Amino acid sequence: MDSIAPPPAPIPKSITATLRDGTNIRLRPIRPDDEDQIEQGIRDMSDRSRYLRFFSAFKAAPPSVVKRLADVDGVFHIGWGMVNLDLGDCPAFAAAHIIRDGEGDHCGEFSIAILDEYQSRGASRLLTASIFAHAFHEGITDLRMDMLSENSKARRLILALGATLASSEGPVSHYRLDVRTALAALKKMEKPEAIREIFKAFGI
C-alpha cells in the first residue's frame, strides 16, 4: 500500500487500451452531455444485468436515473466509461460511478455496469482502476457498495480488491473497501496487461 500515493498529474482526458481478446477501447470520464449514451447503454443491457445493477426490472431507465448518472462533475460525482474503438460508431459498453456521500466527505458509493458480451475480458479491472485512481486523486479513500447477493461476478471482483462484508439485509449485501488497498491490489495484477497503462496515465 505504501507504493500508492495521490497522483501529481492531472486527470487524463482519455486512455486507450486493449482488452484481453485484442479489442481496442478508450476509457474517459463521463460528461453531462453523455445522457443519450447512458440511456442507450442501459437499454442494451440484458434484463438480468439491468436488474443486478439497478435492483429493478425496468426495460428503459427513468429519465431521473439517466440524468443522475450523467450529472458528473469529477469531484462530488466521478464517472468513467468505456467505448469500443473497433466499431464504427464507437459504442459505449461500460460505465462506473463513485458518488461522494457528502460535500468534502472522503467516503463514496461505487457502482459498475458492463454489457454482457464484454464481461470476462478484463474490462471491469481496467474501468475500476481508472475510477479508483480518479477518486483517490480527489481525496475519496473509502467506498461502500450495495449489491444483490446473487451478483457473484461483482462480488468476486471487489473481494479480490480487499472489500469486506459490512452487513446484509435480505437479498442485499453491503460491502466496504479502502481505495488505497484496492489500487495496490490492482497494481499487482498481471492481467489484463493494459492495467499498467491506466496507472501510467494517472502517474501512480
Per-residue exposure over 95-105, b if at least 16 CB sit within 10 Å of its own CB, e if not: bbbbbbeeeee
Q: What is d(CA 66, CA 40) in angstroms, rounded to the nearest whole number?
A: 10
Say how far apart CA 139 and CA 163 lie, in whole Å.
19
Task: Give me the pLDDT at residue 104, please.
Answer: 67
Q: Which residues of the chain have pLDDT under 50?
A: 1-2
Res 26: pLDDT: 97
Residue showing cell 498529474: 9
Picking from 153, 160, 9, 139, the residue whose alpha carbon sits closest to that of residue 94 is 153
Domains annotated for the chain, with CATH where assigned, are 15-202 (3.40.630.30)
Cα 115 from chain centroid? Answer: 13
For residue 120, the surrounding DSSP H or E stretch is none
- Per residue in 24-75, pLDDT (tens digit) is 999 999 999 999 999 999 999 999 999 999 999 888 899 999 999 999 999 9
Burial class (CB within 10 angstroms; exposed 0-12, middle 13-18, buried 19+) of 187: middle
pLDDT at position 10 is 86
pLDDT at 2: 47
**pTM across the whole model:** 0.92
pLDDT score of 5: 58
